[in-house]
Amino acid sequence: MRIHTRSTKILALVSTLACTGTTLAQNWVNYSNQTGTRLVAAAALIGADNHEKDFAWGDLDQDGDIDLICVRKFPGSIQGGARNLLLMNEGGVLTDRTAEYGQASDISGYSGLLDATNDRDVEAVDINNDGWLDLLTATTMSDQVNSVLGQPRAYINLGDDANGNWRGFRFDVDRIPTLFARGGTAANPRFCDMAVADYNGDGFVDIFYTDYDTPETSGTLCYDLNGDGDTADAGECQQSPAENPTNDYDNKLLLNLGAANPGVFYDATTTVLSAAQINSGFGNMAVAGDFNGDGRQDIVRINTLITGQAVSVYTKNTTGLGFALKDIASGQPYHGDKADLNGDGRLDLVIVDDGQDKYLINSGNDATGQPNFTSYTIADSLSEFGNSTQVGDLDKDGRIDVIVTDVDADLGPFCPQTTGAAHSRRTHIYRNIYTGSPAGILDEITPLIIPAAELDWWTDVAVFDINGDTWPDLVAGTCTGLAVYINVPPTNITFAYPDGLPTTAAPGVAKSFRVQQNVAGGTVIADSTRLFWSVDGGAFQSAVLPSLGANMFQATLPPFQCGQAVRFYVTATMDNGISFNDPATAPTITNPISVQSGNSQPYSNDMEVSTSDWTVINEGGLTTGGWQVATPIGTTSGVYAAAPAADASAVGTKAWVTQNGLAGGTATAADVDGGTTRLLSPVFDLSTATNATVTYSRWYFCSDAAPAGSTPAEVDVLFVEISTDGGASW
């Protein structure tokens, strides 16, 4: 066997005796609008409903599936409240159970989630550490109502009764204290978002609220909330008053009393936060997370529209209660969310901007322990006003995807509008296509996974599994109600062989092995799992594989004679009529099987001891890149790995490489340049062998070949040649 390379560009090759594998491509995601069968509530609440919506979700009743809470308010930075929706997941159907499980209150005259509150945000989190998810809300623009309706709320989860029946939620008025403006004036807040996490390390969650001042709208605004064609109904015209400066809240931090009184909060704003951390002109977003990797919860908040608009991180101090403040992005930020976009274990950020949206990649900490971020524009985003951001692995490829909704939650006239020129925005769903480079991670792939006409007017979206198939579904809160999109998993069958894929069979003896199916997106038609085999290039014969249960099947090849050339494959058909083979391109490519009474290995070398029987010949003025035995050292060419950092074998470390690089070096210092380098194996005596095989593993990289380059005329060639006459011909 002879391996040789010719190169004037970057080329790296590693060769060892081992086996290789295959890679299967992933599909992007498909959604089906199943609102009609997945949502049960009064039409006025989920159909022609033009209220602004915000979601939180979790297994609220601990029955094993995910439920949804939807808070509703008058659209925009405008007064006026609405009852909320508790949608319980009942066998994959979201059913309004607010009246049954959401109207309890510990204060007379109020009805819990049925009260007309102006809630801007809701979170589902266990506030008293009893193991049940509770609800927290952030209220806004409630100057005209009392503190019971206008202040943020806590709804405690009552858990099960003695008989195991879930009791729902109760509004406990005193769990969140009556809050006051920064100067001490009695007033209701204009909170826009909240970040809930354990900020003082006592094991109980705390609350950080962002506040905004004068709204972007003013005067009287009227909306057709029920879709009847007019704005004459009660509550359809509301005020958007400027804020009295004495009523300004700025940001608030509430700490949980913890073990002393679990789930009861007190205002610790001025004792924990600095003046700069309290200041908020138009605080529109807050999210909690460990952004510097020290195990403590930090806060990222957005201040927008006025002087000081920025994305800032409050990094938790290593000692004490306080935070360190650092601006990490500017522009015209409006909303966002956190996610590890590049899989490096650090939390990154997606930022919605009034210009083009962007994401911030966390590049590690500065000298003070605060996180650094590098900003990248989302190329497919437009210069438009986005809104809420949600993240999730929609296609289950291990990378976090991103959804940016389109309805500005502060500018009332945006909801609703007609489509076309008058409505210049829609929701964007970005697939995470990260492959190693931080640029271009988020891509809105066309065709769109939801029709563009259905992506108009979304105020928020919930991302969770509704029907229990583990694939993330979507619930969109829109200007025209709620919409449910069920994730339709890709239809696929993959095959595995618990006993190993057979490669040999004894003459005259049947060969049995088990076949395991992994099925996605449907069911396999009974008796469609079959084994096909061919002898000496003849027509394929087949047999149905008997089931062993749990998608396991028994395969048996009939007896063959020594020297016969046998090949086989397995197939099965889904209930949609699509068949899947293994190998995937069968019968063009099949699995060969050698009929033999025994086997021997005339030669094997893992390159760990002696390679004296291998020969290296360098020709044509080769300057670098000659073959050598070494423990491979990884090198790079731009963002691509040019040489691997290890050999291919499970045992040992050495391999033949075309010049080993230096640790941390570039490929240009150790590439094949100026000529040809040949590697010749020793002679293998196969004179007494039948069906002999030669196997090896290789790593090949060329800077002119995809994905690193695109210059076909300059792609360097790797030749692998076999001689059966001692090298006289190849």
Question: Which positions ≥6 away from 266 have C-beta within 8 Å?
Answer: 177, 254, 255, 257
State which fold the 492-595 domain adopts: Immunoglobulin-like (2.60.40)
Question: Which positions ≥6 away from 480 have C-beta within 8 Å?
Answer: 47, 48, 49, 50, 227, 416, 457
CA distance 613 to 602: 14
Instruction: Give the pLDDT band of residue 9 (cuts 50, 70, 90).
Output: very low
| pLDDT, average across residues 87-104 | 98
- Would you say 335 and 386 are in contact if contact means Cβ atoms under 8 Å apart? yes
Instruction: Give the pLDDT band of residue 531 (cuts 50, 70, 90).
Output: very high
- Mapping DSSP to helix (H, G, I), strand (E, B) and coil, where does residue 39 land? strand
Domain coordinates of the chain in residue numbers? 2-17+604-721, 30-488, 492-595
CA distance 694 to 723: 12
Average pLDDT of the chain, as a whole number: 88
Q: Which residue has the tokens 């007033």?
A: 187
| pLDDT, average across residues 295-311 | 87
- Would you say 62 and 434 are in contact if contact means Cβ atoms under 8 Å apart? no
Q: Which of 210, 197, 207 is nearest to 289 (CA)?
A: 197
Strand partners, 641: 636
Measure CA 423 to chain center.
29
CATH number of 30-488: 2.130.10.10
pLDDT at 419: 46
Q: Which residue has the tokens 């691509």?
A: 640
Q: Look at strands 504-505 and 591-595 and give their pairing.
A: parallel
Instruction: Give the pLDDT band of residue 22 (cuts 50, 70, 90).
Output: very low
- Would you say 626 and 677 are in contact if contact means Cβ atoms under 8 Å apart? yes
pLDDT at 714: 65
- In the chain the first and final C-alpha atoms are separated, in Å, by 9
* Full strand arrangement of the beta sheet holding 552-557: 492-496, 511-520, 552-557, 547-549
- Would you say residue 134 has pLDDT above 70? yes
CA distance 74 to 82: 7
Q: Which of 317, 311, 325, 429 is nearest to 378 (CA)?
A: 429
- Would you say 316 and 295 are in contact if contact means Cβ atoms under 8 Å apart? no
Question: Which positions ≥6 away from 545 have C-beta within 8 Å?
Answer: 515, 529, 530, 531, 553, 554, 555, 570
| pLDDT, average across residues 580-586 | 96
- Would you say residue 575 has pLDDT above 70? yes
- The H-or-E segment that residue 38 falls in is helix 35-38
| pLDDT, average across residues 79-108 | 97
Strand partners, 678: 4, 617
pLDDT at 660: 85
- Would you say residue 424 has pLDDT above 80? no
Measure CA 529 to chain center.
34
CA distance 476 to 454: 10
Q: Range with the lowest mean pLDDT among 78-92, 160-174, 265-279, 639-653?
A: 639-653
CA distance 336 to 287: 8
Q: Range with the lowest mean pLDDT among 258-262, 416-420, 530-534?
A: 416-420
| pLDDT, average across residues 644-654 | 81
pLDDT at 217: 64
pLDDT at 240: 83
Phi, psi for 531 (deg, rounded to 5): -110, 125
How many C-beta neighbours within 10 Å does residue 134 have? 24
Which two tokens mark 49? 């409903």
Q: Range with the lowest mean pLDDT among 8-22, 477-491, 495-509?
A: 8-22
Q: Which of 145, 279, 311 is nearest to 212 (CA)?
A: 279
Question: Percent of the chain scored above 70 by pLDDT?
Answer: 90
pLDDT at 224: 82
pLDDT at 414: 61
- Would you say residue 7 has pLDDT above 50? no
HSE-up of 293 (CA within 13 Å, CB side)?
Answer: 14
| pLDDT, average across residues 270-282 | 92
Q: Where do the H-state alpha helices sit in 39-163?
A: 43-46, 98-101, 147-150
Assess whether the region 30-488 and the region 492-595 belong to the same CATH fold. Answer: no
- Would you say 563 and 595 are in contact if contact means Cβ atoms under 8 Å apart? yes
Instruction: Establish whether the linkage from the previous residue to 587 is cis, with ω within 30° of 0.
Output: yes
- Would you say 522 and 504 are in contact if contact means Cβ atoms under 8 Å apart? no
- Would you say 417 and 478 are in contact if contact means Cβ atoms under 8 Å apart? no
pTM above 0.85, yes or no: no
- Would you say residue 188 has pLDDT above 80? yes
Q: Which residue has the tokens 């590098």?
A: 374
Instruction: Give the pLDDT band of residue 278 (cuts 50, 70, 90).
Output: very high
| pLDDT, average across residues 213-233 | 79
Measure CA 576 to chain center.
28
- Would you say 489 and 520 are in contact if contact means Cβ atoms under 8 Å apart? yes
Q: Per-residue b/e over 445-462, b at no fewer than 16 CB within 10 Å?
A: eeebbbeeebbbbbbbbb
Q: Which amino acid is at 635?
A: T
CA distance 81 to 142: 8
- Would you say residue 12 has pLDDT above 60? no
Using alpha carbons only, give the angle 390, 396, 402 rounded to the nearest 5 degrees.
Answer: 20
| pLDDT, average across residues 715-725 | 83
Spell out the SS3 assignment of 297-363: CEEEEEECCCCCCEEEEEEECCCCCCEEEEEEECCCEEEEEEECCCCCCCCEEEEEECCCCEEEEEE
Q: Which amino acid is at 125?
A: V
CA distance 403 to 452: 14
Which two tokens mark 702? 């060329």
Q: Locate the DSSP E strands across 150-297.
A: 154-157, 169-171, 191-197, 206-211, 219-222, 237-240, 252-256, 265-267, 283-289
| DSSP state for residue 81 in the 8-state scheme | B
Which two tokens mark 317? 């101090």
| pLDDT, average across residues 444-469 | 93
CA distance 78 to 219: 9
- Would you say residue 611 has pLDDT above 90? no
- Would you say residue 214 has pLDDT above 80? no
How many C-beta neighbours within 10 Å does residue 725 have? 7
CA distance 692 to 377: 55
How distant, in Å, are the alpha carbons of 119, 141, 174, 188, 361 from that of 149? 10, 11, 13, 9, 40
Instruction: Give the pLDDT band of residue 329 (cuts 50, 70, 90).
Output: very high
Each residue of 346-399: pLDDT tens digit? Answer: 999 999 988 889 999 999 999 999 999 999 999 988 777 777 899 999 999 999
pLDDT at 648: 81
Each residue of 547-558: pLDDT tens digit? Answer: 999 999 999 999
pLDDT at 582: 97
- Would you say 684 and 605 are in contact if contact means Cβ atoms under 8 Å apart? no
| pLDDT, average across residues 711-728 | 79
Q: Range with the lowest mean pLDDT among 413-422, 437-446, 504-513?
A: 413-422
pLDDT at 708: 65
Q: Range with the lowest mean pLDDT among 589-593, 606-610, 626-630?
A: 606-610
CA distance 593 to 673: 42
